[in-house]
Amino acid sequence: MTRGRRVLLLVILAAALQTAAAAALPEHRITNIFQPLATPAESEYNIAMLVFAITGVIFVGVAGLIAYTIWRFRQPSDAAQHQEPPQVYGSNQIEVAWTVLPILIVFVLIGVSARVIAAVENASPPQAALKVTVIGHQWWWEVLYPDYNIVTANEIHMPASRNGKNATYLQLQSADVIHSFWVPQLSGKTDLIPNRSNFMWMDPREPGVYVGNCAEYCGTQHANMLLRVVAEDPADFKRWTVEQQKRSVDDPGATEGRAVFESLACVNCHNITGLGKASAGSKFGPDLTHLMSRQSLGSGVITNTPANLRAWVNDPQTSKPGCLMPSMRLTPDELTKVVDYLETLR
């Protein structure tokens, strides 16, 4: 093959790969506050830049004056060093200037910040807005869609909002200690506090997966309390809600695994809608009704693959030491059956 042909082939291959990647949702894996992709994040970015510009000018002014003074009034080498420098006592103009200017700057910063804080925190949801309740647990996120009767975990689906019309309002609560909800490209941090509801909203502009994490130390696995916002086209979001509203699949091939699962303490913590009384309403661990529709396990610690699921069920403490799910000490045969059953939960 000639060099030209090889280059051409590479270009075609790269284009094909790009098309394939565009079909799946793009992943915003870099949690970058400098690339806001929703209104609240953008307002906060703009404030940060304004503060940075003002303090930058002050820094250059002060540091420049200090540098100039050090150079200009360095110790002279000649006889002049024995002369006393001019003594200046007070100057009304200068004192008024350095009092009034900082006050003006502080008022500008307070005014701009207050406006954005009000817009981000106090905005009340319009009737049509999607409402989502997020409950922080040690160390995962429970996600409820009260209007759709959906319960899921760690991955928050919402419609993307190209026209700025589809905002999602989040009610933030905690089941145990204080957590903090942070998806840097979509909004600032908001605490989840026991016995209290905080609110925030976001309107992701581009479909994609936005990565975030808990931003308040909440115990051993705080750093592994990861979350994803999956922003999709409104039609795709609708499809997702329809799938999530279904009861769990009752695969006749997985009856044995289902029986093992039901006989174990798993059902005390995990709800699987359609499984029966034992698991109904269990809320201590993530809802597993549509476990296989999620991308990750252990709140973002490992990707949701069959091998990882098996390792997780075998001993969660290996992937996430200190997490509140114990190893159930299953025999290899029981493990295979339970994992086979879990994999039917699409």
Which CB sits closer to ligand CUA, 152 or 180?
180
Answer for the pair 252, 233: CB distance below 8 angstroms, yes or no. Answer: no
Answer for the pair 242, 150: CB distance below 8 angstroms, yes or no. Answer: no
CB of 170 to ligand CUA, least distance (A): 15
Which CB sits closer to ligand CUA, 113 or 198?
198
Nearest to 263 by CA among 344, 338, 345, 346: 338
Instruction: Identify the bridge partners of residue 229 per DSSP, sorted by sequence position.
Output: 156, 210
Answer for the pair 272, 283: CB distance below 8 angstroms, yes or no. Answer: no
CB of 136 to ligand CUA, least distance (A): 5
CB of 193 to ligand CUA, least distance (A): 12
CB of 300 to ligand CUA, least distance (A): 12
Cα–Cα distance, 285 to 266 (Å, whole number): 9
Which CB sits closer to ligand CUA, 200 or 335?
200
Which CB sits closer to ligand CUA, 162 or 222?
222
Which CB sits closer to ligand CUA, 167 or 225?
225
Answer for the pair 299, 324: CB distance below 8 angstroms, yes or no. Answer: no
Q: Quick one: 103 exposed, middle or buried, by C-beta within 10 A (0-12, 13-18, 19+)? A: exposed
Which CB sits closer to ligand CUA, 139 or 201?
139
Please give the residue ranges that form the binding site for ligand CUA (CB under 6 A).
136, 139, 179, 214, 216-218, 222, 225
CB of 250 to ligand CUA, least distance (A): 35
Q: Outline where DSSP puts E strands in 35-148.
A: 130-137, 140-145
> H/E element holding 106?
helix 92-121
Angular region, 149: left φ>0, alpha ψ -120 to 50, beta rest = left
Q: Which residue has the tokens 């030209």?
A: 4
CB of 319 to ligand CUA, least distance (A): 17
CB of 212 to ligand CUA, least distance (A): 11
Which CB sits closer to ligand CUA, 229 or 309?
229
> H/E element holding 201?
strand 198-202
Backbone φ and ψ for 253, nearest 5 degrees, come out as: -70, -15
